[in-house]
Homo-oligomer: A and B are copies of this chain.
């Protein structure tokens, strides 16, 4: 497949989505200060970020609101307290997990909401339920993506069938999600080509969400982009579950579109992200995440290991091999 664009010109189809609150919230149970969220919103608008994700629309039946910060639930009034009517060019998204979201009641009509985009997150075996959520959100007037998680762990034949099912749905975009951070650029290239076949057939776009287990989140994101993906996830200082995601500062410094401005991002990093990190919130590349990524395993074992303050990497590796 031909490379899309080059390193000198601008791909105007490319958009950047900031997922700091949503994926970063998995690290600190969504307990961000209001000051942090307000500063993040302003930084994203100034930086030219295209979409900002505020968090999850999680079910209050399933999850105790006392145990999590408000961005796990993303009530309409909480978002509005930050963005007002969102008089900016930036869109606002939330993520809705299959099986963990009361989408019929909690996602209101888009005409009454400041939210622009619903991202439906699904494992490959949940696609029928995902399609139902996609149609619900689409009927309510939202831009909708389908984020198929843990693609490195799915059979190729299942992925092909899932793509066909999502292709026939009303989703606007389909996401490549490397939840385990197990994929290398050569695999991302092949997967992007596969997704793009469906996307072109059904007039949808492709998104990319990477994890940094192998220090490849940025590399995989730009590899997907150069093969045709156009909605690219990043987070401030790479904040996200375990080893984190593609760093916003890396992605914006790479993209040539003059609409993007790295300066407000740098200021946000020094004023908000460094204090957050110094307060003890932990994320970022480290050896245990490399090992779960290398073995194509969920990062949970590495997260527990890091929280325990262990550094006996060789013992941890033996444990992982013995599972």
Contacts and interface: CB of A to CB of B under 8 A. Distances in A.
A216 to B, nearest CB: 6
A316 to B, nearest CB: 8
A222 interface: yes
A9 to B, nearest CB: 13
A141 interface: no
A69 B104 CA distance: 68
Interface in A272-291: 274, 285, 287, 290-291
A2 interface: no
A115 interface: no
Given A7-B184, A185-B222, A250 B313 contact: no
Contacts of A250: 214-215, 290
Contacts of A269: 287, 313
A305 to B, nearest CB: 12
A13 B18 CA distance: 42
Interface string A221-248: 0110010000000000100000000010
A190 to B, nearest CB: 10
A101 to B, nearest CB: 33
Contacts of A291: 253, 266
Interface string A207-218: 000001011111
Contacts of A153: none
A68 B180 CA distance: 43
Contact of A253 (B237, B294, B311): B294
21 contacts: A7-B184, A184-B222, A185-B185, A186-B226, A214-B253, A215-B217, A215-B218, A216-B218, A249-B290, A250-B290, A253-B290, A262-B317, A263-B314, A266-B291, A266-B313, A267-B313, A267-B314, A269-B287, A269-B313, A270-B311, A274-B311
Interface of A: 3, 6-7, 184-187, 212, 214-219, 222-223, 226, 237, 247, 249-250, 253-254, 262-263, 266-267, 269-270, 274, 285, 287, 290-291, 294, 311-314, 317
Nearest first, the 7 closest Cβ-Cβ pairs linking A and B are: A219-B219, A266-B313, A266-B314, A253-B294, A267-B314, A270-B313, A215-B218
